[in-house]
Amino acid sequence: MKSLLTGVVCSSLLLLAGCNDSATTTESSAAVETQKTVLASGIERANMNTEIRPQDDFYMHINGGWLDANAIPADKTSIGSFYDLRDKSDDDVNAIIEELAAAKNLTVGTDEQKVADLFSSFMDTEKLNALGIKPIEPFLAEVAALASKDDLAKFFAKAQKIGLDSPLYYYVSVDAKNSSTYAGHVWHSGLGLPDRDYYFKEDERFVEMRAAYVAHIAKMFELAGQENPQAAAETIMALETKMAKLHWTRVQTRDSEKRYNKFATSDLKNVTNNFNWTVWLETLGVSDQQNIILNQPDFVAGFGDIVANTDMATWKTFLNWQVIGGFASNLSEDIAAQSFDFYGKTINGQQEQKPRWKRGVSLVNGNLGEVIGKVYVKRHFPTEAKGRMTTLVENLRSAYGESIDALEWMSGDTKKAARVKLAAFTPKIGYPDRWEDYSAIEISADDLIANLISADADGFAKGVAKLGGPIHTWEWGMTPQTVNAYYNPTVNEIVFPAAILQPPFFNLEADEAVNYGGIGAVIGHEMGHGFDDQGSKYDAEGNMKNWWTEQDLAEFKKRSSQLVEQYNGYSMFGDAQINGELTLGENIGDLSGLTIAYRAYQNSLNGAEAPVIDGLTGDQRFFMGYAQIWRQKHTEKAQRERIATDSHSPGHFRALGSLSNMNEFYEAYGIKEGDKMYIAPEKRVKIW
Summarize pLDDT for 36-50 with one digit per residue, the tens.
444 478 899 999 999
Q: What integer best gives the mean pLDDT of the chain? A: 94
CA 681, 684, 687, 688 torsion-angle sign: negative
Report, as an integer, the average pLDDT of 216-241: 98
Q: What 3-state DSSP class applies to 161?
A: helix
Model confidence pLDDT, tens digit, residues 634-679: 999 999 999 999 999 999 999 999 999 999 999 999 999 999 999 9
178-188 and 291-294 beta bridge pairing: parallel
- Nearest alpha-carbon partner for 40 in 620, 389, 604, 507: 507
**62, 616 Cβ separation under 8 angstroms:** no
* Residue 181 three-state SS: strand
Question: In the predicted model, is pLDDT for residue 488 greater than 70?
Answer: yes
H helix runs in 530-674, sequence order: 550-568, 584-604, 618-629, 636-645, 651-659, 663-669
Q: How far is CA 539 from CA 17, 19, 421, 674, in A?
A: 27, 21, 6, 43
Reply yes or no on whether the pLDDT at 7 is more than 80: no
For residue 457, pLDDT beyond 80? yes
- Residue pair 404/688 in contact by the 8 Å Cβ criterion: yes
DSSP 365-416: HHHHHHHHHHHHHHHH--HHHHHHHHHHHHHHHHHHHHHHHH-SSS-HHHHH
pLDDT at 101 (0 to 100)? 84
Q: Which of 277, 318, 274, 317 is nearest to 294 (CA)?
A: 277
The rounded Cα 228 to chain-centroid distance in angstroms is: 37
Residue range 358-372: average pLDDT? Answer: 97
pLDDT at 26: 29
Is the pLDDT reported for residue 18 higher than 60? no
Mean pLDDT of the region 526-544: 97
Strand (E) or helix (H) holding 464: helix 448-466
Residue 279 near residue 153, CB atoms below 8 Å = yes
pLDDT at residue 102 in the model: 87
Run of H or E residues at 183? strand 178-188
First-residue to last-residue Cα distance in the chain:
41
Separation CA 655–CA 623 (nearest Å): 9
pLDDT for 612 equals: 94
The answer to whether the beta carbons of residues 585 and 532 sit under 8 Å apart is yes
Preceding peptide of 504 cis, ω within 30°: yes
Torsion angle, alpha carbons of 108, 114, 117, 118, to 10:
150
Between the alpha carbon of residue 453 and those of residues 17, 171, 265, 476, the distances in Å are 19, 17, 28, 22
Alpha carbon distance 415, 3 (integer Å): 39
The one-letter amino acid code at 661 reads: N
Of the listed ranges 34-38, 149-153, 255-259, 374-378, the least confidently predicted one is 34-38
Confidence at residue 13, expressed as pLDDT on a 0 to 100 scale: 78
- The Cα–Cα gap between 440 and 219 comes to 37
Query: Between the CA of residue 324 and those of 91, 284, 471, 574, what are the distances in Å?
Result: 31, 22, 36, 38
Which pLDDT score, from 0 to 100, does residue 10 have?
Answer: 66
- Of the pLDDT bands very low, low, confident and very high (cuts 50, 70, 90), residue 15 is low
Q: What is the dihedral of CA 337, 343, 346, 350, to 10 degrees?
A: -70
User: Following CA atoms 227, 230, 236, 242 in sequence, which dihedral angle do they give, to the nearest 10 degrees?
Assistant: -150
Q: What is the pLDDT of residue 104?
A: 86
627 Cβ partners below 8 Å, 6+ apart?
Answer: 58, 59, 61, 62, 63, 655, 659
Tell me the C-alpha distance between 243 and 166, whole Å. Answer: 12
CA–CA distances in Å: residue 554 to residues 411, 533, 661? 12, 12, 21
Q: For residue 14, what pLDDT band results from cuts at 50, 70 and 90?
A: confident
Per-residue pLDDT tens over the stretch 581-611: 999 999 999 999 999 999 999 999 999 999 9
Cβ burial 611-621 (10 Å sphere, 16+ → b, else e): eebeebbbbbb
d(Cα 409, Cα 31) in Å, to the nearest integer? 48
Asked if the model's pLDDT at residue 17 lies above 80, the reply is no
Beta strands in 408-474 (DSSP E): 426-430
Q: State the Cα–Cα distance between residues 564 and 172, nearest whole angstrom.
A: 32
Mean pLDDT of 434-462: 98
DSSP string for residues in 600-626: HHHHHTTTPPPPPBTTB-HHHHHHHHH
The H or E element spanning position 577 is strand 576-577
Q: Give all domains of the chain, ordered by start, each with its CATH number.
A: 32-71+381-436+475-683 (3.40.390.10), 79-130+351-378+437-468 (no CATH), 133-330 (1.10.1380.10)
Q: Where are the alpha helices (DSSP H) in 225-355?
A: 229-246, 250-253, 256-259, 268-271, 277-284, 297-309, 312-327, 333-340, 347-348
Closest CA to 570 of 673, 663, 679: 679
Share of residues in the chain with pLDDT > 90 (%): 92
**Lowest mean pLDDT across 38-52, 65-79, 386-400, 437-451:** 38-52
Q: Which candidate, 212, 191, 151, places its Cα nearest to that of 321?
A: 191
Residue 23 has pLDDT above 80, yes or no: no
Is residue 85 a contact partner of residue 502, using CB atoms and an 8 Å limit? Answer: yes
Degrees, nearest 5: CA angle 261-264-265: 110
Separation between Cα atoms, residue 430 and residue 420, nearest integer Å: 25
Q: Write the DSSP symbol of residue 204.
A: H
